[in-house]
Structure 1
Amino acid sequence: MISASFIFDKREYDDEYFALDGRIAEIAKATQGYIGEEAWQNLENGKVCTVYYWEGREGLRELMASAEHLRAKSQSSQWLAGYQVVVSEVIATYGTKDYDHLLNKRPFDLGGWKGPPASP
């Protein structure tokens, strides 16, 4: 599994930003192996983070190659005061069974090690 964390500082958003952001979200959802996304904002420093998850790298490659993503990247300084993207290979996920998260029901396997016992 692959995750891509898009971390950024906001500037002023406009209608063009919202239209492009919505289109990129549609494209991401249509890519190969797309699992889902989640986002949050740090209230102390204002940074925003959106994390996308895919089964493999191909979906991320598809998104990065899309015309809309390339356009957003070239115009990012209009809407963002800087950004960082962190692409990671997710080797495991775990948590309590009652926690509502898009990865909560995924198997945990590190080559025979089954991870910590589930919390109640």
Structure 2
Amino acid sequence: MFTATFTFAKGEYDADFHALDARIAAMARAIPGYRGEETWENPATGQISNVYYWDSLEALQQLISHPDHREAKQAQARWLKGYQVVIAQVLRSYGDGGMDHPLAPREPAAA
């Protein structure tokens, strides 16, 4: 499994930003191998991190190579004051099962 963490400093959003963001989110969720996402904000810095979870690097690469994603990357300076992306392979994930998480074990599909 893999994660793509997109950390950014908010700028000024407009209608174009929200429309493109919605298209990318819908497209990502439709890719086989997408497991989910989480969003975190650091109140001290105002920075936001979106963590996207993927079954495979190939699934993540479908998002990265999509034209809407490339458009957002080229236009990011209109809306953001800076960003950083970290792609990581998940070596282990565990918990007590008391909360939902994109990497929590999934129920087997019904036969």
TM exceeding 0.5: yes
SS of aligned partner of 1:3 = strand
Q: Which runs of 4+ in 1 moved over 3 A?
A: none
Partner residue in 2 for 1:50:
50
The question of whether the paired residues in 1 share the 8 Å contact of 2:53 and 2:103 is answered with no
Does the 8 Å contact 1:20/1:68 carry over to 2? Answer: yes
- 1:111 is matched with which residue? none
Q: Partner of 1:75: helix, strand, or coil?
A: helix
* Matched length: 106
Residue 24 of structure 1 contacts residue 68 of structure 1 at CA under 8 Å; is this kept in 2? yes
TM-score, structure 1 as length reference: 0.84
AA partner of residue 101 (structure 1)? H
Alpha-carbon distance in structure 2 between the residues aligned to 1:105 and 1:59: 19
Let me know the Cα RMSD of the aligned residues: 1.1
Say whether the 8 Å CA contact 1:28–1:59 is kept in structure 2. Answer: no
- Structure 1 letter corresponding to 2:62: E
Maintained 8 Å contact 1:31/1:62: yes
* Higher RCO (CA-CA < 8 Å; seq separation 6+): 2
Residue 64 (1) aligns with residue 43 (2): no
Residue 33 of structure 1 pairs with residue 26 of structure 2: no
Distance 2:6 2:74 in 1: 15
In structure 2, the residue matched to 1:75 is: 75
Identity rate of aligned residues, in percent? Answer: 45
